[in-house]
């Protein structure tokens, strides 16, 4: 146990700009790691920090673990604490690192994500979704709520839609601020994303992203107004769907609209 209280010395100086809030409750760390499916073998931990989750990940059977950490001081600490992991520690920025060759085959992702870039981390995960089977992650509670919220809900938004196109999201449990050092101003929650068994047919992922972002950018407006600039065919712009607002559309509706857009974009 690295931190036993707020007055203890720390091995890695917490850096605000890296969103560092170290979990100091070993039981919660174990509980988070237990949320990965037993079948997960290739595992990537994002932002291991002082290694509180890493320790439990290394205790799993049949686990091929790699970790990616941006902070040099944390990397040095991890190398000293877990000498066997040395060759599996990537000192890099998850948001810009090329991880295409990191594992032979698909992998799972886990992490207590830095709150300041947690949405960007999720977008990057979505970019790599064809390789990532499941995700267990700690987010700021509000972000977690947005990710898991269903259509029609007040906080249903861009991430809720884009995540559900590929994954089934579940909110697992909340975590109080006082189990971190330093104590964050926000509550946290752990969520799990599990790859959808039945895949939606998305030919142009970028176009889908543009569509969803444009719709939610003006979420109070009907789609007829919010999506004016996108080249939809007339039969769609005059349909009942276009009299609704972004938050009233299901994933199927977005897939239908994206397909219509693919057709018109393809003709140009």
Residues near ligand SAH (CB under 6 A) are 18-23, 46-50, 52-53, 68-71, 74, 93-95, 112, 114, 117
Tell me how far, at minimum, the Cβ of 89 lies from ligand SAH, in Å.
11
CA distances from 245 to 149, 188, 211 (A): 16, 30, 13
Cα end-to-end distance, the chain, whole Å = 61
CB of 163 to ligand SAH, least distance (A): 20
Q: Which is nearer to ligand SAH, 68 or 207 (CB)?
A: 68
Residue number, 11 or 155, with CB nearest to ligand SAH: 11
CB of residue 47 to ligand SAH, shortest distance in Å: 2
Decide whether 69 or 134 has the Cβ nearer to ligand SAH: 69
Smallest separation, CB 133 to ligand SAH (Å):
20
Selection from 176, 195, 170 nearest residue 106 by Cα: 195
Which residue number places its CB atom closest to ligand SAH?
A: 47
Indicate the residue among 28 and 159 with the shorter CB distance to ligand SAH: 28
* Closest to 140 (Cα-Cα) out of 175, 170, 110: 175
């Amino acid at each position: 146990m690295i931190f036993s209280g707020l007055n203890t010395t720390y091995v890695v100086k917490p850096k605000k700009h890296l969103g560092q809030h170290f979990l100091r409750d070993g039981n919660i760390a174990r509980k988070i790691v237990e949320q990965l499916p037993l079948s997960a073998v290739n595992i990537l931990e994002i932002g291991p920090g002082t290694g509180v989750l890493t320790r439990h990940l290394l205790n799993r059977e049949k686990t091929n673990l790699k970790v990616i950490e941006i902070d040099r001081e944390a990397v040095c600490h991890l190398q000293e604490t877990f000498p066997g992991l040395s060759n599996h520690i990537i000192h890099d920025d998850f948001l810009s690192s090329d991880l295409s060759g990191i594992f032979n085959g698909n992998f799972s992702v886990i992490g207590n994500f830095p709150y300041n870039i947690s949405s960007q981390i999720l977008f990057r995960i979505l970019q790599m979704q064809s390789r990532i089977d499941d995700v267990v992650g700690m987010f700021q509670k509000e972000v977690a709520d947005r990710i898991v919220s269903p259509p029609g809900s007040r906080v249903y938004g861009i991430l809720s839609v884009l995540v559900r196109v590929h994954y089934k999201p579940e909110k697992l449990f909340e975590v109080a601020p006082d189990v971190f050092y330093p104590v964050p101003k926000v509550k946290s929650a752990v969520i799990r994303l599990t790859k959808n068994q039945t895949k939606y047919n998305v030919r142009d992922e970028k176009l889908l992203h543009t569509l969803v972002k444009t719709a939610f950018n003006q979420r109070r407006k009907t789609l007829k107004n919010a999506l004016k600039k996108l080249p939809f065919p007339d039969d769609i712009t005059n349909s009942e769907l276009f009299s609704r607002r972004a938050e009233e559309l299901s994933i199927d509706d977005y897939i239908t609209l994206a397909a219509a857009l693919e057709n018109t974009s393809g003709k140009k």
